[in-house]
Amino acid sequence: MTAPNLHDSPILAEAARWMERARNGSEEDRQAFRAWLRERPEHVAAMDLVERAWREAPRAAAGRGLRPRARLAEPAAARGAGRWRVAGPVLGAACAALAAVAAWTLTVHEQHLAAPADRTASFALADGSRVWLTPGSAVTMRATLLGRSVALDGEGTFDVKHERRPFAVTAGDVRVVDRGTLFSVARRAGQTAVILARGAIDIEDSRSGALIATPHPGQQASLAGDTATIAAIDADAALAWRDGRLVAQDLPLAAVMARFSQLSGVPIALRDPAMGDLRVYGTYRLGDVAQFLDAVGALYPVAWRRTERGYEVFRR
């Protein structure tokens, strides 16, 4: 646990004001309230907490030995909708319950996870979501009752548990806001790539909050600065590394070797750059570099040998 996240408290206070306005106001007030809920997922989560605090108010009042005064209906002309007003100790208990909820939401639960340098790793997150990390990658998750945020260093695939709290992954200057989906984010050398396999996401500028892209399932967004290039992709093949496999579909040898090296944590050097354009197909086990290189050698005049650092590939 870390220090309180102070920006959550104003959202709760605003939600409480909106609840009072929606309960006791006009139809125009209620329409404005619904528009406020649609603005941000955090607003929905905050209202859920405020409503729970309000429902607990009578029980809280009884626990403090208080009895609410009778509930009186004001004249319809004064109220416009003939709603009941909760008075006295119950209102005070509601405020106390809301204060307790606010204190609870200010608690930040933090979780730091990292994959070893030589293999991928899978972890369960505290909220029930799951993350798969490539070798050497790491995440830090911070969760409150109003939201879930993840800072990513490297590359990870997220299978997010759907709930009211928003789930956001930040990688450099890019933030991916999830709606209950399966997606991956990779950040390397100032470039970010996001693959959406299932569900829906928004890709935003992590500093300004400006919307950059909203890819569809089966698309990859390649981001540089505030621009995004969207392209179709076989998401199942691209994310097969979660199961310990690399799937190559008509890719250049140089790209496949680089990806195999990333996912296995084993350096593979290509001695003849001209060989990098050879096309590679197939599915390979990430834990068996020799099997991968033998398969390439069966297709092309390619040989390989072990070195102190890893492997090197050369022309036969």
For 272-315, how does the pLDDT look when each residue is reduced to its tens digit (9 = 90+)? 999 999 999 999 999 899 999 999 999 899 999 999 999 999 99
- Of 145-149, 199-203, 208-212, 255-259, the poorest mean pLDDT is in 145-149
Q: What CATH number should be reported for the domain holding residue 263?
A: 3.55.50.30
Residue 109 confidence class, pLDDT cut points 50, 70, 90 = confident
What are the two backbone dihedrals, phi and then psi, of residue 126, each rounded to the nearest 5 degrees? -65, -25
What's the rounded Cα separation, in Å, for the pair 148 and 49? 15
Q: Look-up: residue for tokens 């340098």?
A: 117
Q: Are residues 120 and 228 in the same domain?
A: yes
Domain membership of residue 97 (yes or no) is: yes
Domain stops at, among 45, 71, 105: 105
What's the rounded Cα separation, in Å, for the pair 260 and 150? 26
Domain membership of residue 251 (yes or no) is: yes
Domain stops at, among 105, 132, 160: 105
**CA–centroid distance for 304 within its chain:** 40
Domain membership of residue 62 (yes or no) is: yes
What's the rounded Cα separation, in Å, for the pair 254 and 278? 8
Would the pTM of this model clear 0.85, i.e. be above it? no
Domain membership of residue 73 (yes or no) is: yes
Domain stops at, among 237, 261, 286: 237
Q: Are residues 27 and 91 in the same domain?
A: yes
- The side-by-side arrangement of strands in the sheet containing 121-124 is 121-124, 130-133, 155-159, 182-188, 191-198, 219-224, 227-232
Q: Are residues 216 and 228 in the same domain?
A: yes
How many domains are contained in the chain? 3
Mean pLDDT of the chain: 80
Residue 96 has pLDDT above 70, yes or no: no
Arithmetic mean of pLDDT, 52-72: 49
Q: Are residues 232 and 116 in the same domain?
A: yes
Domain membership of residue 215 (yes or no) is: yes
pLDDT of 166 reads 85
Arithmetic mean of pLDDT, 262-279: 93
